[in-house]
A and B are shown apart, each in its own frame.
Chain A
Amino acid sequence: MIITTSKPFEEVLKALEGEDKVFIVGCGLCATTCETGGEEQVAEMKAKLEAEGKTVTGTVVYEEVCHELNTKRKFRENKEAVEAADGFLVMCCGAGTQSVREATEKPVHPACNTVFLGNIQRHGHFVEKCSLCGECVLEDFGAICPVTRCHKGILNGPCGGTDEGKCETSKEKDCGWTLIYNQLEKMGKLDRFRRIYGPKNWQANMKPGRVIFEKKGEGGE
């Protein structure tokens, strides 16, 4: 799940300066769960913009705004409202917003901040457990990620700041290394803690990332 938070309305309004007719895009997946771009928030945004004197030419909420072909198809389905708009307000993650970028030549504005790839602990509680490093090391650490859950991404054990299971950065956050230690101990695998891990390959996913399926049947047979 991609976790987003809403930008302040004033920031959104400022971005839309000079664009009177706006088309709003929301996302039926992550942004709906995060309550930043579901049906309800899109309707709310529409009302607020209208109260500010804007015309909302149309709204659409569908699954996977990040799917570029999907987005283009949705735009074709809403041709009239899309064509009438001066600009687009996208209420989902940065990937979805750039998907909209591919579907129009007109101005595109983000309504959200995209914060992390998150786990849902319960309604409204999201935490970051994976930071997409491109070379997963969970196997060695009892399936608890040191790259993400340790603030400093240390691979070789806790820093001196760890305090009774909490991270030096915040009493609200668990020290990832205490979690890893406890997990490995429980599993009888402390030998993994003893192992020295060399520098991580931070270029395992060279930005911007790109994955392309190899075509089946290519290269003979």
Chain B
Amino acid sequence: MTVLIKEHAKPSIQEILESGKFLVTGEIGPPKGTDIDEMIEHIELLKDKVHAMNITDNQSSVMRYPSLGTAILIKELGGEPNLQVTCRDRNRLAIEADLLFAYTRGIRSVLCLTGDSIPAGDHKEAKAVFDLESVQLLQLICNMEEGRDSGGNELKGGVKFFKGAIVTPEAVPIEPQMLKFEKKIEAGAQWFQTQAVYDMDNFKRFMEKARKISDKVYICCGLVLLTSPGQIKYMNANVPGVFVPENLAREMEDAPKEERLNYGIRIMARQIRQLIDEKLCDGVHIMAIGKESVVPQILEEAGVDITKM
């Protein structure tokens, strides 16, 4: 079968994880509009510093340049994309068609998400789709891999993806989350990226539980760059499943104003080091949220060089 993109510039996420290396991923948030120059700059900056880049799919229900288009762009620029697919804006027909296209363009890794609610975003009157949800999306991809669409019809050429999912280690209560984590694995998830983690002790407890459920799936810890005490206050109050512990909040508060970003960089570098040194998990996912340009600095400070791993 002819797949349009045969040559991969980079090893896949699956290859990295299966070789036992610590996976380092970053994130690209596409712009609102067709001016993609800055995004291209970020991709160029990150493509050799991280193993792969997530591309958010209308993140927080805010309409943006598409994740699929950006994934292909990353491919064209010689990077490795991790395509995020949510179920909020597309029904099963649209998702399946997108996946067929993605496969023919060399996308090898898909992160399956349900998606944020519509009122969270900037198209507040839009119709929410949610024809499927994350667990069903994972199953759907498994079916497509076996050559069938979700209507049970045979595909002329199937797909093959490294199927990822997310889990929220800081959710309260945690028990239903863990059960859902288990279901995602059963539905076909091969690897996980976590929602933002700040509290490393809590993350350790989560990993103990997760490893008991499965020692086969790969788990990468999601970290968000802290930039100011205001951001921390906002996140603690408004972002579900996020809790920035006292000591980190204080560290940011004590930082001189012009040094805040550097403090944030240092905190994240320290956390990455801890993940690696204590062998807490299989990788890290860095969410710099608009500050992608400092990711190389974070990695340098953490002493992480993917070319030497």
Contact = CB atoms under 8 A, between A and B. Distances in A.
Interface of A: 151-165, 168-169, 177-178, 181, 190, 193-194, 196-199, 202
B180 A162 contact: no
A184 to B, nearest CB: 10
14 contacts: A156-B133, A156-B136, A157-B135, A157-B176, A158-B176, A159-B114, A159-B134, A163-B241, A181-B176, A181-B179, A194-B182, A198-B136, A199-B131, A199-B140
Nearest to B182: A194
Contacts of A161: 116-117, 240-241
Contacts of B172: 163-164
Contacts of B175: 181
Interface in B94-125: 114-117, 119-120
Contacts of B117: 151-152, 161, 168-169
Contacts of A190: 179
B83 to A, nearest CB: 19
B210 interface: no
A156 B135 contact: yes
A163 B174 CA distance: 10
Contacts of A159: 114, 133-134
Contacts of B150: 199
A197 B139 CA distance: 10
A168 B183 contact: no
Contacts of A168: 116-117, 120, 240
B179 A160 contact: no
B171 A193 contact: no
B135 A153 contact: no
B114 A154 contact: yes
A14 B92 CA distance: 42
Nearest to A169: B117
Given A159-B114, A163-B241, A193-B179, 11 more contacts: A157-B183, A162-B176, A162-B240, A164-B173, A165-B173, A168-B117, A194-B179, A194-B182, A194-B183, A196-B135, A196-B139
B210 to A, nearest CB: 15
Interface string B242-283: 000000000000000000000000000000000000000000
A178 B173 contact: yes
A160 B114 CA distance: 9
Name the residue among A163, A169, A190, A199 with the largest chain B CB count within 10 angstroms.
A199
B114 A152 contact: yes
Interface of B: 88, 92, 114-117, 119-120, 128, 130-136, 139-140, 150, 166-168, 171-173, 175-177, 179-180, 182-183, 186-187, 195, 240-241
A160 B166 contact: yes
A152 B133 contact: yes
B241 A152 contact: no
Contacts of A177: 176
Contacts of B132: 199
Name the residue among A159, A160, A177, A178 with the largest chain B CB count within 10 angstroms.
A160
A164 B88 CA distance: 23
Given A169-B119, A178-B173, A194-B183, A160 B135 contact: no
Contacts of B134: 156, 159
Name the residue among A154, A177, A181, A202 with the largest chain B CB count within 10 angstroms.
A154
Contacts of B168: 160
A202 B128 CA distance: 14
B111 to A, nearest CB: 13
Contact of A199 (B128, B136, B173, B183): B136
B240 A158 contact: no
B257 to A, nearest CB: 31
Contacts of A196: 135, 139, 183, 186-187
Contact of B171 (A152, A156, A162): A162
Contacts of A154: 114, 130, 133
Nearest to B186: A196
A13 to B, nearest CB: 25
A164 B172 CA distance: 5
A197 B136 CA distance: 8
B62 to A, nearest CB: 15
- The list of the 9 closest CB pairs from A to B, nearest first, reads A157-B180, A163-B240, A160-B168, A156-B135, A181-B176, A154-B133, A161-B240, A152-B130, A169-B117
Contacts of B179: 157, 181, 190, 193-194
Name the residue among A151, A152, A162, A178 with the largest chain B CB count within 10 angstroms.
A152
